[in-house]
């Protein structure tokens, strides 16, 4: 081995040893997970990196530990660029509890407090400084960062750089200047949400041409995915909550502010502790509701997608969607707010034909460029494909993010794996649908929406449809009544699947009317068969096999262990209120459970429990040992 290679290996081993020491001393963990160790050593040694890890996989440690390692080497303060005020506040609180000198600069600070933070940075009194991208790009902030050493730049939520993404932030497009203004300072871009094309865009726009990529699986095996036919969404939601998640924390996403308010009010009427959150509320009300969600148990937050970005609450047991997300990236990020602690959680969604129509209209009627509309349409098509697939939803989700080896597998923890849907040869039914659309256009020069086309196929004589059918003499069409044996709900499912699979298109310039596509011709000519999911009538949800017992945080503990766990949670709640932080910032449930299992009677023994770092041991060790001794006494 030549001397250069040997020196490099010694440096790597030294960095690895320091990183492991920081991991144990500060954060209380004994080993890294997955790519964490390699990524941390690479960045700590000055390398640029692109890091993709799913939510809850420890992505933050991949810049926090390198910053602390480089701080020990006298290389300055780590700068974290984040668009999420809630994330800054959560992470800074958690880091301070662990003994890390962290602070943030954002719009929530008074001018006096901001000046104090700037002074601490200049004097070397900070290990990590979180900065919003808008502030970072100001001349004042750039001059501040040049006034003292910077150990690294961490660009969190790096998918925000993609102009085609679900969460584009224009300021991110300018962050390439960091490499030019601060040459030699390592930069690490991190995200939990990026398909292969977005990864390429991140590298190009941030100037990370020489960065090393660390890509973990996007799989969140603890999350169960379920998508149901939307019949009566609110009733379906309350059935889901009562059956599987009574008195547990969750997030319900709605597309509009009005729907958020109405859904929250409905849940409260059903005796669920629910709160609304959307941009139409005043800032004090939003902040109050968010604080309650973070600090109280069993709160259900009903919100638009603006809520939850960067929320570190670990015990969110479910995420529900009452409206279809615009893309798989958005869906993945929103559902990823469930089960950050690794415990069993649910991603549940009610989805129907009107969702498709509404989102298509929003894309078509928007002010964006034609290219952006095409990209948005393709992303919506992929989302529809996930909704309508009869195969494993997790495999479909992972394949979208480039994990092609998932194709054809079964996860055993999504609705399609647990209760495989029945499919049927729908060729004749689809031909009937396509023929009706064709004859309306060919014979009458007309186009109509889904409900009217379905009424023609069913030969509907009901009051709502009869007048319109008679007015246009559609009862004389050869397709009138040819699908009478199918219910309206069955036909809606068929139409929805045909739209998802590109056999039918929606034209919003003519009020959401249905039109044939290039793919329609082969089916009409019987050159191609079509197999669809068979519609199943909605029934009241029954309690699943994974009920409260499996989700009980004391599961696996004996009676005395459960009593100790409850006592520790009571102590944690009181302590968190005293410190003004969410309870999980003190300790996660998983750590309390390990303490209840180990029952340490000395501070030294407590220090061996995973998740108990040096600072927390010093601050809380004696209190916890006294609780153990009191219950054992």
Pick from 33, 60, 332: nearest CA to 188: 60
pLDDT tens-digit series, residues 525-569: 999 999 999 988 766 665 554 443 345 566 678 889 999 999 999
Task: Give 452-506 pLDDT, tens digit per residue.
Answer: 999 999 998 765 677 788 888 898 999 999 999 999 999 999 999 999 899 999 8
Express each pLDDT in 592-601 by its tens digit. Answer: 999 999 999 9
| DSSP structure string for 499-557 | HHTTSEEEEGGGTSEEEE-TTHHHHHTTSS--EEEPP----PPPPPSS-HHHH-TTTT-
Taking residues 117-132, report their average pLDDT. Answer: 97
Confidence of residue 373 (pLDDT cuts 50, 70, 90): confident
Is residue 515 over pLDDT 60?
yes
On the question of pLDDT at 633 being above 70, the answer is: no
Report which DSSP code applies to 189. E
pLDDT score of 45: 96
Average pLDDT over residues 177-193: 95
Domains and CATH numbers, the chain: 9-215 (3.40.50.300), 223-421 (3.40.50.300), 424-533 (1.10.10.10), 552-632 (1.10.150.80)
**CB-based contacts of 471: which residues, under 8 Å, 6+ apart?**
none
pLDDT attached to residue 169 = 85
Q: Which strands, in side-by-side order, build the sheet including 274-277?
A: 223-229, 345-351, 318-321, 250-253, 300-303, 274-277
Mean pLDDT (whole number) for 352-360: 87
Q: Where are the beta strands (DSSP E) in 66-170?
A: 77-81, 102-105, 128-131, 150-155
Q: What integer pLDDT is reported at residue 509 of this predicted model?
A: 64
pLDDT digits (tens, 9 = 90+) for 92-120: 999 999 999 999 998 889 999 999 999 99
The H or E element spanning position 251 is: strand 250-253
Q: What percent of the chain has pLDDT over 90?
A: 69
Q: What is the per-residue pLDDT for 461?
A: 72
User: Dihedrals φ, ψ of 84, to 5°?
Assistant: -115, 105
Mean pLDDT (whole number) for 144-170: 89
Pseudo-torsion of CA 23, 38, 82, 403, nearest 10°?
A: -130
The DSSP bridge pattern shows strands 318-321 and 345-351 to be parallel
pLDDT, residue 163, reads: 75
- How many whole angstroms separate alpha carbon 61 and alpha carbon 56? 11
CA 421 – CA 535 distance, rounded (Å) = 9
Query: Is 505 within 8 Å of 532 (Cβ atoms)?
Result: no
**Strand 531-533 and strand 423-425: pairing?**
antiparallel
pLDDT computed for residue 305 by the predictor = 80
CA distances from 333 to 159, 299, 328, 444, 564 (A): 11, 20, 8, 46, 35
Q: How sure is the predictor about 41, in pLDDT bands with cuts at 50, 70 and 90? A: very high
How sure is the predictor about 165, in pLDDT bands with cuts at 50, 70 and 90? low
Q: What is the mean pLDDT of residues 147-176?
A: 89
Is the model's pLDDT at 307 over the cut of 80?
Answer: no
- Give the SS3 label for residue 345: strand
Q: Is 354 left (phi over 0), alpha (psi -120 to 50) or beta?
A: alpha
Q: Give pLDDT, residue 10.
A: 44
- Non-local CB neighbours of 287 within 8 Å, separated by 6+ positions: none
Cα separations (Å) of 52 from 93, 100, 166, 297? 24, 24, 17, 31
- pLDDT score for 37: 95
- 315, 580, 586, 613 from 617: Cα distances, Å: 23, 19, 11, 6
Instruction: Compute the C-alpha angle 360/366/369, nearest 5°.
Output: 105
Compute the average pLDDT of residues 602-610.
94
The mean per-residue pLDDT over the stretch 390-402 comes to: 94
Q: What is the pLDDT of residue 511?
A: 64
Closest CA to 551 of 271, 341, 360: 341
* pLDDT tens digits, one per residue of 198-212: 999 999 999 999 999
Question: Is the pLDDT at 150 greater than 50, yes or no?
Answer: yes
pLDDT value at residue 2 = 47
Q: Are 105 and 130 in contact (CB under 8 A)?
A: yes
CA pair distance 229, 350, nearest whole angstrom: 6
pLDDT at 587: 92
pLDDT above 80 (res 612):
yes
Contact yes or no for 488/458 (Cβ under 8 A): yes
pLDDT of 550 reads 44
Using the CB atoms, write b or e for 179-204: b if 16+ within 10 Å: beebeebbbbbbbbbbbeebbebbbe
Contact 226, 335 (CB under 8 A): no
Dihedral sign, CA of 196, 307, 87, 133? Answer: positive
pLDDT of residue 369: 85
Burial of 626 (0-12, 13-18, 19+ CB in 10 A): exposed
> Over the stretch 399-458, which tens digit does the pLDDT of each residue have?
999 998 888 889 999 999 999 999 999 999 999 999 999 999 988 888 898 989 999 999
Q: Round to whole Å and give the CA distance between 619 and 432.
A: 72
In the structure encoding, which two tokens stand for residue 227, read together? Answer: 């998508």
Write out pLDDT tens, residues 526-535. 999 999 999 8
The pLDDT of 171-181, averaged and rounded, is 94
Q: Give me the mean pLDDT over the 567-594 stretch.
A: 91
Q: What's the pLDDT score for residue 552?
A: 58
Give the containing element (helix H, strand E) for 433: helix 427-444
Q: Across the chain, what does the average pLDDT equal?
A: 90
pLDDT mean over 76-88 = 89
């Amino acid at each position: 081995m030549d001397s250069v290679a040997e020196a490099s290996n010694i440096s790597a081993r030294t960095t690895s040893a320091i990183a492991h020491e920081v991991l144990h001393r500060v954060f209380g963990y004994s080993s890294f997970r997955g790519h964490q160790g390699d990524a941390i050593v690479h960045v700590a040694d000055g390398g640029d990196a692109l890091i993709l890890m799913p939510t809850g996989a420890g992505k933050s440690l991949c810049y926090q530990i390198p910053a602390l390692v480089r701080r020990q080497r006298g290389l300055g303060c780590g700068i974290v660029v984040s668009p999420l005020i809630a994330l800054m506040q959560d992470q800074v609180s958690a880091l301070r509890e662990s003994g890390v000198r962290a602070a943030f600069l954002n719009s929530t600070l008074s001018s006096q407090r901001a000046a104090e933070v700037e002074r601490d940075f200049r004097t070397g009194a900070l290990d990590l400084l979180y900065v919003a991208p808008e502030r970072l790009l100001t001349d004042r902030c750039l001059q501040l960062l040049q006034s003292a050493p910077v150990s690294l730049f961490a660009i969190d939520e790096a998918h925000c750089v993609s102009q085609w993404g679900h969460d584009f932030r224009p300021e991110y497009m300018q962050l390439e200047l960091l490499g030019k203004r601060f040459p030699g300072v390592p930069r690490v871009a991190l995200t939990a949400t990026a398909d292969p094309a977005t990864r390429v865009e991140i590298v190009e726009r941030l100037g990370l041409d020489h960065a090393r990529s660390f890509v973990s699986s996007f799989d969140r095996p603890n999350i169960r995915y379920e998508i149901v036919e939307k019949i009566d969404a609110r009733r379906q939601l309350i059935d889901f909550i009562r059956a599987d998640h009574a008195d547990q924390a969750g997030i319900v996403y709605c597309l509009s502010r009005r729907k958020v308010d109405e859904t929250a009010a409905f849940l409260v009427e059903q005796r669920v502790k629910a709160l609304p959150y959307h941009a139409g509320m005043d800032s004090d009300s939003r902040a109050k509701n968010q604080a309650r969600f973070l600090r109280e148990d069993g709160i259900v937050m009903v919100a638009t997608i603006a809520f939850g970005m960067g929320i570190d609450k670990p015990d969110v047991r479910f995420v529900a969607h009452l409206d279809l997300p615009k893309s798989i990236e958005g869906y993945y990020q929103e559902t990823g707010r469930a089960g950050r602690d690794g415990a069993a959680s649910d991603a549940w969604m009610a989805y129907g034909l009107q969702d498709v129509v509404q989102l298509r209209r929003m894309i078509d009627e928007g002010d964006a460029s034609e290219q952006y509309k095409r990209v948005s349409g393709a992303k919506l098509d992929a989302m529809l494909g996930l909704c309508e697939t009869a195969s494993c939803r997790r495999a479909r989700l992972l394949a979208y993010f480039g994990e092609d080896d998932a194709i054809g597998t079964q996860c055993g923890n999504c609705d399609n794996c647990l209760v495989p849907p029945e499919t049927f040869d729908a060729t004749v039914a689809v031909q009937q649908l396509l023929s009706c659309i064709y004859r309306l256009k060919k014979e009458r020069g007309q186009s109509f929406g889904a409900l009217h086309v379905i009424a023609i196929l069913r030969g509907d004589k009901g009051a709502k449809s009869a007048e319109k059918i008679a007015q246009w003499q559609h009862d004389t069409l050869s397709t009138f009544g040819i699908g009478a044996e199918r219910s309206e709900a069955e036909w809606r499912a068929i139409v929805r699947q045909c739209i998802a699979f590109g056999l039918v298109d929606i034209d919003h310039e003519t009020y959401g009317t249905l039109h044939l596509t290039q793919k329609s011709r082969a089916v009409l000519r019987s050159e191609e068969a079509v197999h669809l999911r068979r519609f199943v009538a909605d029934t009241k949800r029954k309690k699943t096999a994974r009920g409260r017992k499996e989700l009980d945080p004391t599961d696996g503990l004996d009676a005395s262990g459960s009593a100790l766990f409850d006592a520790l949670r009571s102590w944690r709640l009181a302590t968190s209120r005293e410190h003004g932080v969410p309870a999980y910032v003190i300790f996660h449930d998983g750590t309390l459970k390990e303490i209840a299992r180990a029952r340490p009677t000395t501070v030294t023994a407590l220090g061996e429990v995973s998740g108990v770092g040096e600072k927390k041991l010093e601050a809380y060790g004696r209190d916890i040992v006294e609780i153990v001794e009191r219950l054992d006494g």
